[in-house]
Every structure is written in C-alpha cells, then in structure tokens.
Chain A
Amino acid sequence: MSNGEPGVLERIKATLPAGQKKPPEDSVELRAWVLAAVLVGEVAVLTSGYFDWMTGILVPLLTVVAFFVSHNRRQEKNFLIKILLAFGALAALAMFFREVLSSLYDTRVPLARLFLWVQVIHAFDLPARKDVSYSLVSGLILLSVGAVLSTSLWYGLFVLAFFFCALGSLTQMNLSEARERAGVTASRSRGLTPGVIAPGFFAVLAVGVLCFSFMPQRQSMNLSMMPTSAFQELQGDFSGSVQNPEYPQSGNPFSQPPQNIAPDSYHGFNPYMDLRSRGRLSDEIVMKVRSEEAVPYRGVVFDEYNGKGWEISTSEEDLETLVSDGPRYDLFSAQNVEPAEGPTRQVAQVFYVEKDASNVIFGAYRPETVYFPAGGIKVDPQASVRAPYKIPEGSTYSVVSQLPNASPDSLRHAGRNYPAGMVEKYTALPPTGLDRTRQLARELTAGTTNPYDAVVKMNNHLRSEYPYDLSIPPQREEMDAVEYFLFEERRGYCEQFASSLAVMARSLGIPARVATGYVPGEYNPFTGLYEVKASSAHAWVEVYFPGYGWSTFDPTPGFDSTPWQYQAAGSVQGGKVFEFVAEKSGKVIGPAFGAVGTLMRGVARLDPVSIIIVGLLVAGTALAGIYSRRYLVRRRRKPAVQRSVRVSDARLYSRYGAVIQALEEVGIVREPGETPEEFARRAAEEVGEPAVARLGEIYLYARFRDAVPAALVGEFDRLEPEALAAVKKLAEASKAQV
C-alpha cells in the first residue's frame, strides 16, 4: 500500500493462526518422479474415451505447469494462490454436481472429471514432502478411476508405468527423508534407478502377480449404478425389426440360393436364419461383457421353421415400445411379453460394444431391467429386446436378467399341461419333408415317460453322433435343411444342431424354439471382462416346460449342454491368470517358433538362404556372448589398489634419487637384475659408507609400506649428508687418481 497501511490480504493473513510450517521439499528428482506418476494416472483416465480432446490436452499441460510453479514457490506462503485454488476447487465441485444430476445412473465419468481437476488444482500447492506424497496418492486414485473405466488389456501398460513411477517416487521419498534426518541437503542420486527402483519394480510385479492370482474375485455388480454410454433422445417412432447392416433386409432370402456369410457379422442376428450355408466367422472382438455368470448372451428368438431356416413370426405391430426419460427400462411393465415362470436367479451384465452391430440388445433370458442410452426400446413377446438404432462401436448398455433355475427333477415332473396356444405356435412344422426326422425322434425317445427325458435323449444323441464342422459346403440338395443335416451331410454347425433338436422336439409335440446369441467368450482376468468374438456367435434350443417356462438345451458338441444351469464362478482366479498369460504368450511366441522351424527345415534342405541366415544368427549370438563375457569380466575386475603417496614419502623418493644419481656419477650403476637392496649394499661397500645401504632400506620401506614412521624419516635426514659426503669424497679421490 502506498500509504504504508497493510492491505486486505495482509490483514486477513494476520488474523489467521500461524501454523507450524513444514520444511519445503527440495528434491527435484522426487518431484519429477511424482509428476511422472501423476501424468500416467491422468493419461490413463483421459484415454478411456469419455473425455474430449481439450480436457485431454489441458489437464496434463496444467499439471506440468503446476508442478513447476509449486517447486519454484516452495519457500513462499502462496496465500493468493491458495485462495485462487479454493475458488477453482469450488468450480470443479459445481461442475461435478451439475454433471451428476444429469446422469444419475452412472456417476463414474463426472467423478473421474472431478478427480482430474482436483489433481491439477492440488498440484499448484506442493511445498512440502507430505503435499507431494498426497499428490502421489491422488495419482493412484486416478489410476483406479481409469481401471474402472477401462475395458482394454492395454490398460496394463498404464498400470505398469504408474507403478514404476510410483515406486521411484517412494524410493526418492525414502532418500529425501533419510537425508533430512541426517541434515544432508538434497542432491542428485546416481544409480538408484538401475540399482533399486528397477529391481524393486520387478520384485513388486512378481509378488503382485502372485497376490492377484490368489485374490478372491467376486464378479458381482452394483445394481443401482449400471453403466451406459451417452444418452440419446428418441426422435419419433422406430422399427423394432432386427436390423443387421451386413445382410439384405428386403425380399425373401429363402427363395434364393444360400447366401454368403459376412465373416464379421453373424447371420442369426436377422429377422430370418438360413440353415443352408454357414462359413467361419472372424475372431475379431465384437463386444466385451462384464457378467456375474458365464452364461450365453441371448439376442434373437426364432419360432417359425420353414424347411430352409427359421423366421420370427412376430410382426412389428406385436412389438411393444417402452419409452423413458432416462436409460432405465423395467420390462415387468411390458404387457404382451411372455410371463416369467418357476424359480429364477438374477444375473447382471454390462455390454461394451467394440464393433458396429445390429440393433439387438443382448441379455440373459429373461431381461428384467435394461439400461440403454436411448429414449425408447422395443421388446417382442419372447422377451427379445431391440434398440431404436444399429448399436455403434463404443456404446455401453447393461441388462439385469432372470435366468430359469429349475432343477432337472422339477422339469422331469413338469408334465405336458401346456397353456393354450403354446402347442400350436411352438410345435408347428412343415407338413412334408420331415418323415425321417420324425421317425428318428420317435426311435430316440422310445421308453421315455416325460418331455424332459425325451429332449435330453435327443440332445445327447446329437452331441455324440454328429461332429461339429464349420467347413462343410452350402447345402447341395433341394430338401429339408434338418433332414439334409441329419441324414445326408451328418456333420455341421450349431444352427443345424439346434434346429434338429427343436424340430425333433416339435415333432413329438414338445414346444421348442431356436435362440441365437453369443457364448460367454474368453474371460480376461485382468479386465474382468468376457471377450466376445464374432466367432462366438451361437445358436441353441429353448424348450418349454409348464410351470417352469423356457429352459435351454445345447445339442452342439463342445458346448455346454445346459448353459443356463447354475454354475458358480470360481472366486480364486489364479489358474485363470496363468492360463490366460500362457495362452497370450503362446500366440506371441508361436510365430517366432514357426519361423525357427522354417529355418531349420530350410537348412535340412540345404537351402542357401536359410543356411546364411542361420549362420549369421549363430555367429552373432557367439560374438554377443564373447563380448558380454568380456564386459562382465572387465566390470568385475577389481581396480589395482593405489596407495596414496604422502608428501614425506615423495620427498624421500626424490632425495634417494639424488643419492643414486651421485653414485652413478662415480660409476656405481645398478646392474640389470640387481634388486634395489642388493644395489644399495654393493654401493655401500664400494663407497665405504654403511649409511648408503641403510638409505636404501629406508627407501624400500617408504616405497612399499603404508606410511613411513617419523623415526625413519629422522634417520634418513641424518644419514643422507653422510652418504653424499662419502660419495663426493670418492669422486674427489677418483679425480685425484686421474
């Protein structure tokens, strides 16, 4: 203030209690490690796909600036900065509440955004070590938020990078604390990264894998907060028929020759399913599913068999539209959906769509609550749910379903008292062309007393007598597709197995239908998600039992014969982790081994290129081995001990050198092979002065001992003039003789 009065800030500061100021953290290395860890945490969240590019650039950039500012101003009180940061924190909180109120069903993204901005704000005020350590904890929280949002195996790179930086930070913090206790100022520490941090990181990683393997994992979900992607308002009404972008939606496909199968899209996700051709689907991941149980994901139900394939008999008018302001739909409110019967169990599933798909909303039978990010959905009487649009890549939706949970004994005693209309609709078959099939069904079920045992017998017959084969050509004969499979081709794919069982059941008057969807897929213990490939598409049979509803049978060999039967997931994932890692490693290493095999075969054939490559590889390995060994030997070799030369010793050397020079001038020269001691004795005899011999002894003592005692130095001082005088005398005598 110009008039010397304290300003407002100073006056406020004066009213605040003077707390004990923590010593500022001077270690730049510690701050750099923590900054790296925090940046990894931030990028892990920002790359989850929920944030715009502006946030993606601003947050890391501001964090770097904040760390720089807080290091430079670590000695200051930063009162003004603290006030600004408080306002910033309030703004972030306001933004969080606004976002949460608009998306009450999934608060993960608003929470992640809040954590990001709090991290940035906090990074501006990190004067002391404790503040820096809070920032590290905050980075761990960000990594955890990213772990919740991530569905990718690549997230492991973030986990590895974060823990490498975090362990580096802990090491630097340990060093900084030790230096503070010892009163040593912060300085650069060399060799810590290769010496401590990297080995520590690998040790933690090894123990971490063990911990993770034996860690009980429950695949349950918080049913009050099921995630969905961004909500889209519905514009007008929409068609509820199954829409698949890869297949023609108009015309009668059964009047044409067997169609070609799109490798990335299953032909069973259509209003029709042609049984006359199949083909292999690709191994591309189409969706990832978080599921409480490994049960199939049911999509489309076919109830009308026409001799060439299956159709959905329900017209668009029969579909019921459910409309909502939010993503939640409760299917108990639907009027024309078949009711749930018998004992059930609840299974929740979250679907992360990885590739553009049809408008089929998957779920375990029977969907109870659907969380879908659109203003409306449609449901058919078979409880098959459709979205208002073809579901694009990146979409997320959740389904809570009720699974039939009746025991085999209950089903065995269910009887044949089917509701009105059920038999007509679900036992209808083409009038001709299925004679052999009907005969086979009768033969297989002879002696059975109830529909359940009959279905099980037929199911087992198909599983044991017909091989699963996806490579068979399209149907070559104009006949019933089931008859062709059962009596002509006698091998085939899941749709043929399922159709055969359904048709045989229908022929016996048992209500049956075919459902399509995906099998659970490969469980990834790291992401906790089932990875569903296009090739995981599957078809199975649903059979009706009075009082218990529809139960599932799967006649395809190699698949679970009763997929909805309750199976508790193992809580200890150790075997799964190692199995998963081994499988993935095999896929990576496999090609390498393949290349080695090709080379070896080439050498065996005396193929010159293979021989040259193998020769170069062997020579390179040998050279690398030789040089590595040399390097290690050189590194391990202890340096020669260098005794420090003391000033008094050095003077003795030069003084003794002068005596030697004087001796040489009179012709007394050290002979080759003569030790210094021998030379000194001979010189003493020739000069006639014993002091010369003693000087030699003292010189040797000084030369090869650690230190020269003061008494010997004194003796040298006393004897040196005597020796030099004797040599001089000898020189004069020699001159006189001449």
Chain B
Amino acid sequence: MSRKRLKSLGKPVLLIFLCIILYLIAMNSGAGWLYVVSAVVAATVAVSLITPLWNARGIEVVRRAPVVGQAGEPFRCVLEIRNTGRLARHLLEIRDEFAGDTGRAVVTRIRGGATERVEYVLENPWRGVYSGGEITVESGAPFGLFHGRRRMRVASSTMIHPRTFDVATLPEAVSLDAKQGDPSENPTLLRGHGGEFWGIREYRPGDPARLVAWRRSARGLSAGRLAVRELAQETHPPFHLAMNLDARVQREAREMVVSAGTSLLLFALREGREVRVDAGAQKEPFPEQPDPDAVLAWCASLVASRPPDPSGASVEIRPSMPYSRKRPGSSGPREASEAQAVVLVSCREFAGTKSRTGPWMTLEEEQRFVEEERAAGRQAARLGPDVEEPWRIE
C-alpha cells in the first residue's frame, strides 16, 4: 500500500480509534450518552464509506482543449461535467491527466441531469500529439474520510509543439566555411561542406571519416598518413540536423534535444535553406516540403529512437551519454561527433539536485568533450536547462 494511500486513511483510522476509546470509557463508566456518541462516530465512518462510491457514479465528462499549444506554456482547458443521475452530486474532484500534465478542478454541486463547466489551467504541458487523456472523477463527499473514484478516457485532439527559443545564427561552419579558406581559390566555388568535389588534402584532426580518400591515401601517401576529400561550399547549402533521441536519456534532456533542434530548423527555414533531419527511426517521415508549421508538427510527434548517424550532419544535437565508438587517437572515453558542429545537452544538469550521478557524463567529461571538439576544429556548445537567448553555438 502506497504512503499516499496510507495517509488518506489517517482520518478514518483516527475516528475509529476515537470510537473504540469512547466505547471503552462508556463500558467502564456506564455513561449512556457516551455509547450514543461512540455509535454516531462509528456511523459517520460507515456513511463515509458508502456515499463517495455513489457520488462518483453517473458522471460524464467532455474536455474542450485548444488544438495547438506549446510545451511549457500554460493553457486553459474546459471540462463539461454532466450528471446523468436524478439526484444532485456534490464535491467532485476532477483530475485530468492530459498533455503530459495533470489538471485539477473542483465541482461543489451538480444538479441531477445538469451540466457544469469548470476551467483549469495545465501549467506545464509536454510536447506531443495527444488524442485524449484519462480523467479521474473522485469524490469524498460528504465528509472526506474515504474517496470513490471513476476513471474514464476522454478524447480530445491537441498538439503540443516543442518549446523553441531564439537562435542568433547557425554555426559558422554551416553558414560560410569558405571565409577561413585559401584566398586564391575559385571565387565562384568556395571550399566548404557542399556536395561538389573541391580537392584532396592531407587529413587534419577533426575531419569526418566519411571524407577520407582511402584509395588516394593507399596509393600516394606514405604509410600512416591519410588524404581526405574537400567539398565545395554551396551558396545555399542544405542544413542537415542529427537529433539523438536516445531512450535511455531523461525525458527533460530529450525534450531539450528536440527544442534545440526545432529552433535551429525554424531558423534555417527562415534563412531559406533546404533542411534535412535525421532523428532515428520515426513513424512519420520528415515533410518533403517543410514549412514552419509542418516542421513544428513533425517535431511534436518525435519519439525516443536509436541514435542517428551524425556523419555529414551540419549540426548534431546529442545528450551527454557515453557511446561505444571512440575517435581514433583520442584519449577521451567518449565518442566524438562526426558532424560539423555539435551541441551537447547536459543530462547531468537535467537530473536535478537529488541524483547527480547516472549513466551520463560527469561535468569534467562534458567539458573535455567540448574542448576536444573545439580542438578538432568543430563548433561545440553545451546546453543545460537554461538557455540564454538569442542562442548560438560557439
């Protein structure tokens, strides 16, 4: 029996205890009125045991919820509670588990056959696409010693978009890589991360493995040295986002992955960029003609999945979990990203103050990861629950 359940039995247990004590005193003193008092206390407990069960019956609930909301933004719901019985019902407590949060409302009285409307605010809805939720009609009427409950599933369609925040700019590696390039290069085709071939050069730390030119390395370079392909920077390069929605991660950290990803996607769309997203295996494919609404709807429907392959991604957003593969030559215990920029969402900070330890990286490991990524020439950022807006990946 749960502690909450035990606590709810406190009042009846106290009354039964009082009833027994008064009865024993009556037996000892022969005081007749004390028997009466003891009997009425017992009757109070008996009546309280029966009436809540009846009071919670014959109640129908309809939920009127907004069609769209945003995660973390409170929104108002209306419940239409109908009493299908002939007699009035009193002191009904409605608990609505909807949109990842719980809303509560109290109805003091509903006459027989009447409908009451109550409003409540869902303070912290979670991202998702909801078709309804479970409503519990609870009553402790009249005396609150025992409670009768009825659970029912109430349908209502609501989509909660992920929380988004202002993005200052996309990472430089994504937007204009050629600024750091050779000035003697072809002015119409700048070196960058586009689809066109640019040239071959020697491997530098941080280069993605997929760009290693294995045949050229085997033929033309001495042992132990690698050659990589360089690609041209397109004028409007596509924005390719890899979102790691690892199921092992706490929900809050995963939501931050989605929020950061959605924010970057919306910014990229505003800049007129072609966007592609890899968020692991999802039920719905990413929209072929993405617009902000479609992106928000798709992001709202994202569920936990296996980590995507970040190779070639413009930005990878990942939780601070250790992965098995290591970067070649790296001393660190964690796998390096193969994207052009990486955002590390700190699971440790989302774990709260109570449990700082878990399967995620420690603070030192997170910092080392970011330093290593930067040392490898990538832009890297660490993201906790507090986001400074406008946000940028340093």
Q: Which residues of A contact B (CB under 8 A)?
A: 137, 140, 143-144, 146-148, 150, 155-156, 159, 163, 167, 170-171, 173-175, 177-179, 181-184, 189-192, 195-197, 199-200, 203-212, 215, 217-222, 290, 292, 350, 524-529, 638
Complex A-B: 19 CB contacts under 8 Å: A137-B14, A140-B37, A159-B33, A163-B40, A170-B144, A171-B91, A174-B142, A191-B108, A192-B108, A195-B88, A200-B142, A204-B40, A204-B44, A205-B40, A205-B43, A207-B43, A211-B43, A215-B23, A221-B29
Q: B42 to chain A: which residues have CB within 8 Å?
A: 208, 211
Picked from A148, A183, A195, A525, the residue with its CB within 8 Å of the CB of B109 is: A195
Q: B14 to chain A: which residues have CB within 8 Å?
A: 137
CB–CB B37/A195 < 8 A: no
Give the most central of B33, B44, B140: most A CB within 10 Å. B33
Q: A205 to chain B: which residues have CB within 8 Å?
A: 40, 43
Picked from A167, A181, A212, the residue with its CB within 8 Å of the CB of B39 is: A212
B104 within 8 A of A: yes
Residue of A with least CB distance to B109: A191
B28 within 8 A of A: yes
The docked-state distance in angstroms from the alpha carbon of A212 to that of B38 is 8
Rounded to whole Å, the gap between the CB of B89 and the closest CB of chain A is 9
CB–CB B36/A156 < 8 A: yes
Residue count of chain B within 8 Å CB distance of chain A? 44
CB–CB A222/B29 < 8 A: yes
Q: B32 to chain A: which residues have CB within 8 Å?
A: 147, 217, 524-529
B309 within 8 A of A: no
CB–CB A147/B37 < 8 A: yes
CB–CB A137/B18 < 8 A: yes
CB–CB A200/B47 < 8 A: yes
Q: A144 to chain B: which residues have CB within 8 Å?
A: 22, 25, 34, 37
Closest 7 CB pairs of A and B: A528-B32, A174-B144, A147-B33, A182-B104, A208-B43, A212-B39, A207-B43
CB–CB A174/B141 < 8 A: yes
The docked-state distance in angstroms from the alpha carbon of A159 to that of B41 is 11
The docked-state distance in angstroms from the alpha carbon of A562 to that of B29 is 28
Rounded to whole Å, the gap between the CB of A217 and the closest CB of chain B is 6
Residue of B with least CB distance to A181: B104
Q: Residues 137-151 of chain B: 1 if any A CB is under 8 Å from the residue's CB, otherwise 0?
A: 000111111000000
CB–CB A148/B29 < 8 A: yes
Rounded to whole Å, the gap between the CB of B268 and the closest CB of chain A is 35
Residue of A with least CB distance to B28: A222
CB–CB B43/A204 < 8 A: yes
Q: B46 to chain A: which residues have CB within 8 Å?
A: 207, 211
CB–CB B120/A182 < 8 A: yes
CB–CB B18/A140 < 8 A: yes
Give the most central of B37, B40, B104, B140: most A CB within 10 Å. B40
CB–CB B34/A147 < 8 A: yes
A221-B30 contact in complex given A175-B108, A182-B106, A195-B90, C-beta closer than 8 Å? yes
CB–CB A174/B43 < 8 A: no
Rounded to whole Å, the gap between the CB of B96 and the closest CB of chain A is 11
CB–CB B93/A182 < 8 A: yes
CB–CB B30/A178 < 8 A: no
Give the most central of A137, A221, A528: most B CB within 10 Å. A528
Give the most central of B30, B34, B35, B88: most A CB within 10 Å. B30
Q: Residues 117-142 of chain B: 1 if any A CB is under 8 Å from the residue's CB, otherwise 0?
A: 00010000000000000000000111
CB–CB A171/B143 < 8 A: yes
A528-B39 contact in complex given A178-B91, A182-B93, C-beta closer than 8 Å? no
CB–CB B30/A290 < 8 A: yes
CB–CB B91/A174 < 8 A: yes
B51 within 8 A of A: yes
Q: A209 to chain B: which residues have CB within 8 Å?
A: 39
Q: Which residues of B contact A (CB under 8 A)?
A: 14, 18, 22-23, 25-44, 46-47, 51, 88, 90-91, 93, 104-106, 108-109, 113, 120, 140-145
Residue of B with least CB distance to A573: B35
Known A147-B37, A170-B144, A196-B91; further 6 A-B contacts with Cβ < 8 A: A163-B44, A167-B142, A171-B91, A178-B91, A178-B144, A217-B26
Q: A350 to chain B: which residues have CB within 8 Å?
A: 30
A220-B27 contact in complex given A167-B142, A527-B32, C-beta closer than 8 Å? yes
A220-B30 contact in complex given A178-B106, A182-B104, A192-B90, C-beta closer than 8 Å? yes
Residue of B with least CB distance to A174: B144
Q: A179 to chain B: which residues have CB within 8 Å?
A: 106
Rounded to whole Å, the gap between the CB of A364 and the closest CB of chain B is 15
Q: B38 to chain A: which residues have CB within 8 Å?
A: 215
The docked-state distance in angstroms from the alpha carbon of A200 to that of B106 is 20
Q: A148 to chain B: which residues have CB within 8 Å?
A: 25, 29, 31, 33-34
Rounded to whole Å, the gap between the CB of A532 and the closest CB of chain B is 15
The docked-state distance in angstroms from the alpha carbon of A113 to that of B168 is 76
Rounded to whole Å, the gap between the CB of B39 and the closest CB of chain A is 4
The docked-state distance in angstroms from the alpha carbon of A148 to that of B31 is 5
Give the most central of A156, A197, A207: most B CB within 10 Å. A207
The docked-state distance in angstroms from the alpha carbon of A220 to that of B25 is 11
Residue of B with least CB distance to A292: B30
CB–CB A170/B108 < 8 A: no
Picked from A195, A203, A222, the residue with its CB within 8 Å of the CB of B47 is: A203
The docked-state distance in angstroms from the alpha carbon of A671 to that of B25 is 88
Residue of B with least CB distance to A201: B142
Q: A529 to chain B: which residues have CB within 8 Å?
A: 32
Q: B18 to chain A: which residues have CB within 8 Å?
A: 137, 140
Residue of A with least CB distance to B121: A183
Q: A167 to chain B: which residues have CB within 8 Å?
A: 44, 142-143
CB–CB A528/B35 < 8 A: yes
The docked-state distance in angstroms from the alpha carbon of A292 to that of B26 is 13
Give the most central of B23, B90, B91: most A CB within 10 Å. B90
CB–CB B104/A526 < 8 A: no
A181-B93 contact in complex given A204-B43, A208-B43, C-beta closer than 8 Å? yes
The docked-state distance in angstroms from the alpha carbon of A48 to that of B370 is 82
Q: A218 to chain B: which residues have CB within 8 Å?
A: 27, 30
CB–CB A178/B93 < 8 A: yes
The docked-state distance in angstroms from the alpha carbon of A527 to that of B37 is 11
CB–CB A175/B91 < 8 A: yes
CB–CB B108/A150 < 8 A: no
Q: B39 to chain A: which residues have CB within 8 Å?
A: 208-209, 211-212, 215
Residue of B with least CB distance to A210: B43
The docked-state distance in angstroms from the alpha carbon of A209 to that of B42 is 11
Rounded to whole Å, the gap between the CB of B302 and the closest CB of chain A is 31
Q: A524 to chain B: which residues have CB within 8 Å?
A: 32
Rounded to whole Å, the gap between the CB of A148 and the closest CB of chain B is 4
The docked-state distance in angstroms from the alpha carbon of A184 to that of B142 is 19
The docked-state distance in angstroms from the alpha carbon of A198 to that of B345 is 59
Q: B91 to chain A: which residues have CB within 8 Å?
A: 171, 174-175, 178, 192, 196
Q: A173 to chain B: which residues have CB within 8 Å?
A: 144
Q: B140 to chain A: which residues have CB within 8 Å?
A: 174, 177-178
The docked-state distance in angstroms from the alpha carbon of A143 to that of B43 is 17
The docked-state distance in angstroms from the alpha carbon of A150 to that of B29 is 12
CB–CB B43/A528 < 8 A: no
The docked-state distance in angstroms from the alpha carbon of A62 to that of B226 is 94
Residue of B with least CB distance to A523: B32
CB–CB A147/B31 < 8 A: yes
Picked from B33, B104, B141, the residue with its CB within 8 Å of the CB of A528 is: B33
Q: B22 to chain A: which residues have CB within 8 Å?
A: 144
CB–CB B37/A143 < 8 A: yes
A177-B43 contact in complex given A144-B37, A159-B36, C-beta closer than 8 Å? no
The docked-state distance in angstroms from the alpha carbon of A451 to that of B84 is 80
The docked-state distance in angstroms from the alpha carbon of A179 to that of B120 is 12
Picked from A155, A184, A219, A292, the residue with its CB within 8 Å of the CB of B33 is: A155
CB–CB A184/B106 < 8 A: yes
CB–CB A174/B34 < 8 A: no
The docked-state distance in angstroms from the alpha carbon of A170 to that of B18 is 15
Q: B142 to chain A: which residues have CB within 8 Å?
A: 167, 170-171, 174, 196-197, 199-200
The docked-state distance in angstroms from the alpha carbon of A173 to that of B140 is 11
The docked-state distance in angstroms from the alpha carbon of A222 to that of B128 is 70
Q: A526 to chain B: which residues have CB within 8 Å?
A: 32-33, 36
